[in-house]
Structure 1
Amino acid sequence: MSNADYEPISKLRILLTEQRYSPVVIGNYCAYAHGFLDYFAQHDLPIMDVTEEQVSKYLQYAIAMFRKRHGRAPARDWHSIPRSGIHALLRLAQGQWPSAPKATCAADALRFAICDEYETWLREERGLASASIDALMWEGRNFLTWQLDRLGPDSLMTMTVGDIDCYMDTRSPHQTRKSVKDVAERLRSMLRYLHRTGRTAIDLSPHVVAPLLYAYEGVPSILTPDQVAAVLQASGADKTPVGLRDHAILQLLATYGLRSGEICNLRIGDIDWRTEAIRIRHTKTRACSFLPLMAPVGEAVLAYLQAGRPVTGAREIFIRTRAPYRKLGLLANMVRRRLKDAGIKPTGKSGSHIFRHARAVEMLRAAVPQKVIGDLLGHRSAESTAPYLKLATEDLRAIALDVPGQEVRS
């Protein structure tokens, strides 16, 4: 390889160093990226033209060469190491990886065009949160792929109710009633957009059949006050960087009942240490709340900032513990791990929302007005807070009423 061919490796090494990867990881990534470049140089294929399918073929080749050199197959998770180095190289070289799919037929071109326009409409005109857009886009892409692959790009204008029923039948097996209803709502959004933009002759969205859910159907999982205390005690005993981070997050969950995204998006400037206040950007309503910074929360966050948070230019408070050091993603896995460490097994779901539910119930039982609870939780309306009332019904079972009976005469 010429010196110019080595340039991507040099750039990759600089990038990984800036992102504070360990020297060992940098060496491994660059070595695997170097082998990847050698392989494609031998096949006269520029790195800018590499596809996902070709990467998969190369990894199979790399596994075969490993077996030939060492006389055995690599460890089961070995392939993740060269893949990470190769993907880092391709992101650097191509600007995006995986690369954007390319249309191979008229159906692909139509689907890509509709999805691009639909995503822009959801974001700019409807102003939806990213998580909502992702869910709507997944369903939209899935439906368009299903319809266009079956009947071609001209089939949208002639779609019937039967087509919609058939799609829902493919999505319904092994789904809960709530999940099927969610699918139906996302499909209705896409069908309304297709009609709005003149791609369907009639609006088929009213014909999407979904199961009927009763108001406040199903009681979500919650933690008791003793269980919340046990989780905080267990996480507080972990003084490692990850322990300090997780404990601060759990304090925020237990104290304010925040959503996962509200914690992950919390920035250093959102805490005013002088006035002891914290600003919360609510992910669903996009409104801001200014709350008092409670002492246990402030102490936990400060301990993490001083002794647990990696050195990084990111402004979010909670950061990954491994390079690249960027803001933390979803909290579900962390919560499940900390519940397990505390010996707690919720009867239902075990994501971060169980702390949110627990906080709501705790306030309801303390006779806090529903409006105040809704403001703390970032609800737009009282109807959003009402389901939490069902969680406190167990209190009614403790009230014994003497029901007068008819006197029995001798």
Structure 2
Amino acid sequence: MSNTDRDLIAELANVLTAQSYSQVVVRNYCAYARDFLAYLAQHEIPITTVKPPQVAQYLRYATIAFRKRRGRSPAPHWHSIPRSGIHALLRLAKGQWPPEPEVVGPEAALRHEICFKYETWLREERGLAAASIVALLAEARYFLVWQLDRGGAQSLNVLSVRDIDLYMGARSPGQRRVSLKDYAERLRSLLRYMYRTRYVASDLAAHVVSPMLYAYEGVPSILEPDQIATVLETTRRDKSPMGLRDYAILMLLATYGLRSGEVRNLTIEDIDWRSESLRVRHSKTGACSFLPLLPQVGEAMLVYLRHGRPRTDRREVFMRNRAPYRPLRNLASEVRRRLSAAGVKPPGKSGPHIFRHARAVEMLRASVPQKVIGDLLGHRSTEATVPYLKLATEDLRAIALDVPGSEVLA
């Protein structure tokens, strides 16, 4: 091994250690990275020119070598360990891994150009949130791949209503009506942009047909108070770092009815221990609320911060339990795992939002005014609160609620 490769391995070990990987993982990753560098040297491939197919080719080679050396095939997921070490090495050597996909051919170049400009327009001119831009771009890429593969780059000049109908028909199999409506709305946005920028000759946005959805037609899942108590108690008995984290998360969901993103984006600075308050940045409206930090919630979060949260410079409260330590991306898997462990099976969806529905219904049953419920949930209007209350029909009959449009016009 050359001195350059040795220096690279030593730097990789330092980077992994700084990211709080265990020493066992650091040794394994460096060992597989060292073998990969030896393979590259044998085939005279500079590391700066490595591409994904060459990594895949090496993993096949390493699997064959494993079989010859040990007389048996490796475990089904064995390759994930050397691959992780190699990817860490390549991120260090190349600055980015995996690399951006290559743009080859006129169709790919046109698709890349439209998506790049469309993303810039969505961000700078429309000022949309990052999550909205990701969803709109995903549909844009899907549509452009479908259309350009069918008719080539020139097909956009003669894009017709029939093409739009065929695309939506191809999009339909296996999709729920609410998903198709989302796809249609995103496609309309792209078509309006493409007409505005003269990529297509006519504005076809109005011709995108989507399924009809009726207000409040879907019935959400809901947890009863005894089910919530069971889930919390089962999770509380788990004293592992993951258990402490999940219990604090569930306490926030069940007590305040927060959205998943509001819990994930919570930072150390959002907790004011002196005034016993909690700052919540509402992910949909962008507004902030200050909620009282109830003792049982504060205790759960304090125990996690002291005994469960990994050491990291990140300011987000809830982190992954494995290196590299990053904020949680979503809470769905954690919530499903805790529901399953408690033997609680909701009739429908089983994500974090069911705690939000349950909290709204619980407050309604306690005769809390709808406006107050909406304020706690971070809603801008009372209409936004109605879907959360539709399961408590008997309770709604007993409480006077404001009905939009019920005012008598003079």
TM-score by length of 2: 0.94
1:398 and 1:288 map into 2 onto residues whose CA distance is 32
Match of 2:389 in 1: 389
Deviation at 1:394, TM superposition (A): 4.8
Match of 1:148 in 2: 148
Match of 1:406 in 2: none
Moved more, 371-380 or 183-192: 371-380
Letter in 2 for 1:88: A
Deviation string 1:326-373 (CA, Å, 9 cap, x unpaired) is 111110010001001111001111111111111111122222222222
Deviation at 1:275, TM superposition (A): 0.6
Letter in 2 for 1:152: G
Is 1:167–2:167 an aligned residue pair? yes
1:336 and 1:367 map into 2 onto residues whose CA distance is 30
Deviation at 1:156, TM superposition (A): 1.6
Work out whether residues 236 and 244 of structure 1, in 8 Å CA contact, stay in contact via their aligned partners in 2: yes
1:375 and 1:242 map into 2 onto residues whose CA distance is 31
Match of 1:16 in 2: 16
Deviation at 1:380, TM superposition (A): 2.9
Letter in 1 for 2:213: L
Work out whether residues 111 and 145 of structure 1, in 8 Å CA contact, stay in contact via their aligned partners in 2: yes
Match of 1:58 in 2: 58
Distance 1:377 1:126, change over 3 A: farther
Is 1:112–2:112 an aligned residue pair? yes
Instruction: Report % sequence identity.
Output: 67
Superposed, 1:10-409 pairs within 5 Å as 10-395=10-395
Deviation string 1:10-68 (CA, Å, 9 cap, x unpaired) is 22111100001001100111111111111122222222221122211211111111111
Structure 2 unaligned segments of length 5 or more: list them: 400-410
1:149 and 1:7 map into 2 onto residues whose CA distance is 46
Deviation at 1:177, TM superposition (A): 1.1
Distance 1:398 1:269, change over 3 A: closer
Moved more, 82-91 or 113-122: 113-122
1:322 and 1:124 map into 2 onto residues whose CA distance is 36
Work out whether residues 264 and 327 of structure 2, in 8 Å CA contact, stay in contact via their aligned partners in 1: yes
Moved more, 55-64 or 368-377: 368-377
1:201 and 1:25 map into 2 onto residues whose CA distance is 56
Work out whether residues 231 and 339 of structure 1, in 8 Å CA contact, stay in contact via their aligned partners in 2: yes
Deviation string 1:203-237 (CA, Å, 9 cap, x unpaired) is 11111111101110111111111111111111111
Deviation at 1:259, TM superposition (A): 1.2
Match of 1:408 in 2: none
Structure 1 unaligned segments of length 5 or more: list them: 400-410
Letter in 2 for 1:383: E
Moved more, 97-106 or 375-384: 375-384
2:93 and 2:344 map into 1 onto residues whose CA distance is 46
Match of 2:4 in 1: 4
Work out whether residues 48 and 93 of structure 1, in 8 Å CA contact, stay in contact via their aligned partners in 2: yes
1:379 and 1:144 map into 2 onto residues whose CA distance is 36
Match of 2:405 in 1: none
Number of matched pairs? 399
Deviation at 1:120, TM superposition (A): 2.4
Task: State the secondary structure of the residue aligned to 2:390.
Answer: helix
Task: State the secondary structure of the residue aligned to 2:157.
Answer: coil
Deviation string 1:231-265 (CA, Å, 9 cap, x unpaired) is 11111111111111100000000011111111111
Deviation at 1:166, TM superposition (A): 0.9
Letter in 2 for 1:119: E
Letter in 1 for 2:102: K
Moved more, 351-360 or 183-192: 183-192
Task: State the secondary structure of the residue aligned to 1:391.
Answer: coil
Letter in 2 for 1:334: E
Task: State the secondary structure of the residue aligned to 2:280.
Answer: strand
Letter in 2 for 1:393: T
TM-score by length of 1: 0.94
Match of 2:408 in 1: none
Match of 1:403 in 2: none
Task: State the secondary structure of the residue aligned to 1:157.
Answer: helix
1:27 and 1:394 map into 2 onto residues whose CA distance is 62
Work out whether residues 129 and 284 of structure 1, in 8 Å CA contact, stay in contact via their aligned partners in 2: no
Letter in 1 for 2:373: I
Moved more, 193-202 or 344-353: 193-202
Letter in 1 for 2:298: G
Distance 1:177 1:394, change over 3 A: farther
2:25 and 2:114 map into 1 onto residues whose CA distance is 41
Deviation string 1:275-302 (CA, Å, 9 cap, x unpaired) is 1111111111111111111111111001
Moved more, 384-393 or 333-342: 384-393
Deviation string 1:61-116 (CA, Å, 9 cap, x unpaired) is 11111111111110011011111111111112222221111211111111112212
Work out whether residues 319 and 327 of structure 2, in 8 Å CA contact, stay in contact via their aligned partners in 1: yes
Deviation at 1:3, TM superposition (A): 0.3
Distance 1:196 1:376, change over 3 A: farther
2:321 and 2:106 map into 1 onto residues whose CA distance is 45
* Superposition RMSD in Å: 1.6
Deviation at 1:157, TM superposition (A): 2.2
Moved more, 132-141 or 229-238: 132-141
Task: State the secondary structure of the residue aligned to 1:156.
Answer: helix
Moved more, 70-79 or 188-197: 188-197
Deviation at 1:128, TM superposition (A): 2.5
